[in-house]
Amino acid sequence: MSDNPIYTPVPLKNVIALTDQLLEIAAMAGASDLHLEPLFQSMRIRMRVDGLMQLLKPPFDQLPATLADAIVVRIKLLSEMDISESRRPQDGSFQWQLNDKRLDIRCSSLAGHWGEKLVLRLQWQQQNIDICQQGLSPKQLQVVNHQLNKPQGLILVTGPTGSGKTMFLYSCLKQIQAPHINTVSAEDPVEVVLLDVHQVAVNNAINLSFSQILRALLRQDPDVIMLGELRDFDSADVALKAAQTGHLLLTSMHTSSLSEAVHRCHGLGVDMLALSYCLSLIINQRLVRRLCAQCKQPMTKVQLASMSSEEWLNAVTTYDLGFGAVNPCLPIGCEACHGGYKGRFGVFDILVMDQSKRDSVAQRQVQELEFGAGVRRQGLWRVISGHTSIAEVNRVTW
């Protein structure tokens, strides 16, 4: 076994260079996560690009065990994690430079049957968090901006994990930043650093929770508060009181629809009558992959004729050119993209509260809130305008 080059000791400089190379490959591909997964006598390397997992290209897709172990130690040292502990889960972070851009990397370790798995979350410090670039239609953008200019109320952003809720909240904070507004946030963790926003991270090591941070922030004379997530009764109760007492509060919740968000609030023990009066806007969203502009091809007349479902015909009839001219396209694939797609954008369903909807929330008659086709209808409009495909909309909305 010693004659096999796979099992020869790896020089430290090679481990450092290989670790940097793996990070560079993931960063250049626009990956949000890099996975180092131990297998029997090897380690599989995958990355998540535009929401989907994919293997790195050979020879980086699978590394020999001894080399993989050295890379794990290297990353744990960078993340200031305990390299002598491989049984308990650990979290850490570090910064990494690629050319003139800086990458914030969060690392999570978890022991498994074949060894310790690392997942690295990659976050560029210079994020595109312009609210105009999130995917809202012109009408939706006007509604959201109007609600953000209100002095108080609760704006709730909903969607499943990985639907872009946090980035949307950041874009809202950036939109309303001003010298005369005191903006604060409670997050777990701080993912994007914003100037002129006092950002506080949850710290379980000292029992600093969302609700404790929020109570402290209320004594900091805030105008606008961003709470990363409504996850328990304490944080929801404090958030509700903040929204009722002259503050604009923005937060998120892991739910798949507008009505489910109301059910979830009730499940947390929230006073539904109080919620109905302070809730001003609910947003439900998904992220869909964008067709590559270099290789996408317009659908033929035959292909368009096959799109004859009632849902598709209704979407065509109601499309108001808000996302551009009618030009449905198909993914092809080229060297510049990943299977015909490059990048992602949001599709949204928004609900502005009025008196009838407040009554529905207070009485939990949530079926009345689902009056439209929601994110799926907007996704189909994006197909019509040639920004994504029907297969992609089906993937994220069914």
Which pair of tokens denotes residue 184? 């604060």
Q: How far is Cα 4 from Cα 12, in angstroms, rounded to an integer?
A: 19
Query: How do residues 304-345 score in pLDDT, each as one tens digit?
Result: 999 999 999 999 999 999 999 999 999 999 999 999 999 999
| 398 pLDDT tier (thresholds 50, 70, 90) | confident
Query: How do residues 30-60 score in pLDDT, each as one tens digit?
Result: 999 999 999 999 999 999 999 999 999 999 9
CATH topology of domain 131-397: Rossmann fold (3.40.50)
* In the chain, where the domains are located: 5-124, 131-397
Domain boundaries 5-124, corresponding CATH code? 3.30.450.90
Specify the pLDDT at position 12. Answer: 55
Query: How do residues 235-270 score in pLDDT, each as one tens digit?
Result: 899 899 999 989 999 999 999 888 888 889 989 999
Specify the pLDDT at position 14. Answer: 87
Q: How far is Cα 182 from Cα 221, in angstroms, rounded to an integer?
A: 7
DSSP track, 299-357: PPHHHHHT---HHHHHHHHH--STT-S---EE----TTSBTTEEEEEEEEEEEE--HHH
Find where tokens 């108080």 sit. 152
Neighbouring C-beta atoms of residue 270, cutoff 10 Å? 18
The structure's pTM equals 0.88
Helix count and strand count (H, E) for the chain: 13, 16
Query: How do residues 60-107 score in pLDDT, each as one tens digit?
Result: 999 998 888 999 999 999 999 999 999 999 999 999 998 888 899 999
